[in-house]
Amino acid sequence: MPVAMALHEDLLGPPRSLPPMLRILYLRRGAVLVNGAALAEDSAMLVEDAVTIAGEGELWRFELLAVPEGWRAPPEARDTLLLARVLARDAAQPFNLRLDRVTFTPGVETPAHGHHGQGIRRLLAGRRFMEIGAQTHRLDGGRTWFENGEEPVVARGLDPGTSFLRCMVLEPGMLGQSSFRAWTAEDAAKPRNVAYRQYLDTVVTLKDAPCN
């Protein structure tokens, strides 16, 4: 059984409850309490149990769950869903779950690269031009995308402060290690031209995932 990753956006008002699930909560803006514990703006929290969220602001949820083949997000999830992907990952096996922020040096391209993992990204600020494989995109703030790690990516921040949030699933042995994989030896010699801020890096196992 594979793993699905889904990114949701909640515009908070009245308190709301969420069922048990492995998820990262990231507060984009505002002030909230998660089961009574404060979650500060531009910070993240890993939860697995049921939670009640109270406060105001904009909350992003990266959720991980075991799913059957051919899974699609249920209709009741689609009001808040931004992007969902089924990953090439066995739900019964542990994995390294990572959330970080990548900020670009303005006007300078990254070398062509992939990653030792896959996951969903969302642009926090600015504008981003990128090539993924044979596709070319220009993204504005708030846009989401998925990278499988197996296609070459070249990216450039078009505005000062251009940055994105990245949630990735990697092998457990990648804990504390860079996920960056230069595409060629020439690319490996080039500067990356980005800065990182890490929010979370831990090895997890999905509860209730069927064993093989």
Q: What is the pLDDT of residues 120-177, one digit of tens each?
A: 999 999 999 999 988 998 999 899 999 998 899 999 999 999 999 999 999 999 999 9
Q: Is residue 50 within a helix (H) or strand (E), and if so which, with residue range?
A: none
Read off the pTM.
Answer: 0.93
Find the mean pLDDT for residues 5-17. 95
Residue 153 near residue 95 (C-beta atoms within 8 A): no
Residue 181 near residue 154 (C-beta atoms within 8 A): no
CA distances from 128 to 8, 109, 124, 188 (A): 21, 10, 10, 22
